[in-house]
Amino acid sequence: MKELRAIAEAFEQARSNGTATALATVVNIRGSAYRRPGARMLITEDGQPTGTISGGCLERDVILRAQRVIERGEATLATYDSTDEREIDFGVGLGCGGVVQILIEPLPASEPGHLSMVNEFLRRRERGVLATVWQASSPEIARRGSHLLLGSDGEVWNDIGNPQLAAWIQEDAWETTRTRQSVAQSYQLAVGQAEVFLEVLQPPVPLVVFGGGHDAIPLVQFACELGWHVTVVDGRSAAASRTQFSRADEVVLCRPERVLDRVPLTGDTVAVVMTHNYRNDLELLKVLLPSPIPYVGLLGSRTRSTRLLQELDDDDINVTIAQRSKLHAPIGLDIGAETCEEIALAIVAEIRAALAGHTGGSLKDRWAPIHERAPSEQVRRARMMAVVESASCP
């Protein structure tokens, strides 16, 4: 979400300056592509971009198209087909073997629009769903580039003119909040068809680092660079230093036995224990393993972690199989890390893999698609059946 936050902030800055902008969003891909649907780039009227929608091969052309969209005030859909050899020869040069469709929509400086609402969601660290109509067979269905934004508390922002379509999208958006998977949907109405991309807006990953030692500094820096929300916790005033962890969102002076009172531990939180103190680690495991957090990483050798778990058993603390499964000890991917920076890289990479449900192996050994695609045929059929049934009623 770091990139989306930067785009939303750049839009607010441009709006305050009276600068017109356009938003380019990857809404659909077939085959291989560098970025997935939801990748965005904000372009100002003078061609200044924020964000990326590819590895650099599409940006220049999209910026030119965006400037024309700003002039005309009308959204357009750009299709780049790298399966066509002529497309490669004439300047795009994707070479990915896929088709990428990008919605480019003007964002008037005179009104907040959906990006202002997205920025507010991100500021409050709330989950939401953003639905974007990227294609419609008739103006009666919806305007291309219209949106519906659903918050986790039920708050809705909507500029989709067709009430039936908006109602269907909102219903599917609620389902998307449950599955937490972005999906592409087709809606067949009596007056035509609409293609909509429903994107899950995830709040920043809440990372809690227990231990304010020297080796925690690069870990915090890497996590902040990824846009995670980072909290550093230590019981020593010299270690829980805002000066040392200037990029952290929060620095908490707290002993292990007070953690539950001072630090939120939710089902989205990940924790790294690196206090370099055996007794502190033991007390923290007593708190963290029974908590709802899905990932607990423990720095140190396998022998040390085994001893800690054995001591918990000896103290009649029943560590369940599920609790043991979320403990990553030793922490980090096996990349041959030696320095503090390399160890931090291995830790951040393992957390990212764990959150994505991946093992962290080499992509050359992965034969399945790199990005999973969630099917939407069931919803598409249901919507079409609803239209047929309503049309057949006397």
Q: Mark whether 107 and 140 lie in a shared domain.
A: no
Q: Mark whether 97 and 174 lie in a shared domain.
A: no
- Considering only CA atoms, which of 161, 136, 164, 127 is closest in space to residue 147? 161
Close Cβ partners of 220 (under 8 Å, ≥ 6 residues apart): 209, 230, 232, 245, 247, 248
* Predicted TM-score of the model (pTM): 0.83
At 162-217, the pLDDT tens digits run 999 999 999 999 999 988 889 999 999 888 899 999 999 988 999 999 999 999 99
- Position 373 scores a pLDDT of 54
- The answer to whether the beta carbons of residues 267 and 293 sit under 8 Å apart is yes
- Position 211 scores a pLDDT of 97
Q: Mark whether 131 and 254 lie in a shared domain.
A: no
- Considering only CA atoms, which of 299, 285, 215, 216 is closest in space to residue 251? 216
- Position 370 scores a pLDDT of 61
Distance, in Å, from the CA atom of 109 to the CA atom of 19, rounded to the nearest integer, reads 6
Q: Mark whether 344 and 262 lie in a shared domain.
A: yes
Q: Mark whether 34 and 104 lie in a shared domain.
A: yes
- How many CA atoms are closer than 13 Å to the CA of 188, on its beta-carbon side? 14
Distance, in Å, from the CA atom of 263 to the CA atom of 269, rounded to the nearest integer, reads 10
For residue 217, is it within any domain?
Answer: yes
Start-to-end CA span in the chain (Å): 49
Tokens representing 272? 């790294």
Which residues of the chain fall below pLDDT 50? Answer: 88-93, 374-382, 385, 387-394
- Position 394 scores a pLDDT of 43
- Considering only CA atoms, which of 176, 197, 160 is closest in space to residue 26? 197
Tokens representing 133? 């109509």
Our count of domains for the chain comes to 3
Q: Mark whether 197 and 210 lie in a shared domain.
A: no
Q: 203, 234, 260: which is the final residue of a domain? A: 203
Tokens representing 286? 């007593």
Q: Mark whether 347 and 222 lie in a shared domain.
A: yes
How distant, in Å, are the alpha carbons of 107, 120, 143, 148, 288 from that of 116? 11, 6, 19, 13, 36
As a whole number of Å, the CA-based R_g of the chain is 24
How distant, in Å, are the alpha carbons of 208, 263, 294, 322, 337 from that of 270? 6, 12, 7, 16, 21
Q: Mark whether 252 and 333 lie in a shared domain.
A: yes
Close Cβ partners of 210 (under 8 Å, ≥ 6 residues apart): 233, 234, 256, 259, 271, 272, 273, 274, 275, 280, 284
Q: Mark whether 64 and 132 lie in a shared domain.
A: no
Identify the domain containing residue 136 by its residue range.
124-203
